[in-house]
Amino acid sequence: MPRPPGHGPGYEIRRQEIIDRAAALFAKKGYAATGIAEVGEAAGLARGALYYYIGSKEQLLVEIQDRVMGPMLESAHRIASLEEGALIRLRMLSQTLLENILARLDHVWVYEHDYRNLHGVNRSRLMTQRREFEDLVQQLLVAAMDEGAFRQLDPRLATLQFLNLHNHTYQWIRPDGEWDAEYLSREYCATLFLGFAKPGHRFDDLEDRMREFLAVRRNASPEPLRPASRES
């Protein structure tokens, strides 16, 4: 959501803090069960001041959804466009998806549980974004079939298998737990790729190639998490 004219950078910082507080509340109690007064209390704002920053309760839900899907779509398009084989791109996408889940567990919980509370254009927009992301995953899976790494699978079912294995991680993962995104992605992809593999195909060099990619990425300047930008 663009900053209204006349508001300085402090306005946006405060608004982002409010979205963080709302995400934590919605994840704990559910969107429908959380009143706007509770959000204001958590943010230390009266109702009128809260609406000054966020416009409506549903707008808070839109912002939370955008924080999840915006970065994921951006990353998925970037990974899909790389001049790499489909398997390494799927492995990259897997780890990026899990990194985003771990970075914003509260947001992902709300994203998965409360998107049905969106209405009209807000819900249509989110569902379009979800389909766009699923299509990118499916395109990579089909590319792996075309390259001879995977046997001929039902593309839609293979997509659901990939997504279901990753998307339910938020229900039990802990940021300070024993498994990080890199480990989980490696294990998830080993399981999926072995099941999807064309008979006789091996993936011996996949993790070596992934380590090379991660070494380059870790030596680059990190990009901070940021809310997705969108048109007004």
CB 232 within 8 Å of CB 111? no
Comparing CA positions, the residue from 16, 66, 21, 62 lying closest to residue 40 is 21
Q: What is d(CA 39, CA 15) in angstroms, rounded to the nearest whole number?
A: 12
pLDDT of residue 203: 87
What phi, psi does 197 have (nearest 5°)? -60, 145
- pLDDT tens figures, 52-74: 888 889 999 999 999 999 999 99
- Distance between CA 131 and CA 137 in Å, rounded? 10
pLDDT score for 224: 45
Q: Shortest CA distance to 206 belongs to which of 77, 99, 84, 100?
A: 84
pLDDT computed for residue 129 by the predictor: 95
| Tokens 């985003």, located at residue | 100
Give pLDDT tens digits for 8-29: 678 888 999 999 999 999 999 9
What is residue 61's predicted lDDT score, i.e. its pLDDT? Answer: 94
**pLDDT tens per residue across span 129-167:** 999 999 999 999 999 999 999 999 999 999 999 999 999
Residue 130: partners with Cβ closer than 8 Å, 6 or more residues away: 69
The residues near 145 (Cβ < 8 Å, ≥ 6 apart) are: 151, 152, 153, 155
User: Quick one: pLDDT at residue 7?
Assistant: 65
pTM recorded for the entire structure: 0.84
**Confidence class of residue 217 from pLDDT cuts 50, 70 and 90?**
confident
Residue 202's pLDDT is 84
> pLDDT for 159-211, tens place per residue?
999 999 999 999 999 988 899 999 999 999 999 999 999 998 888 888 888 88
Residue 232 has pLDDT above 70, yes or no: no
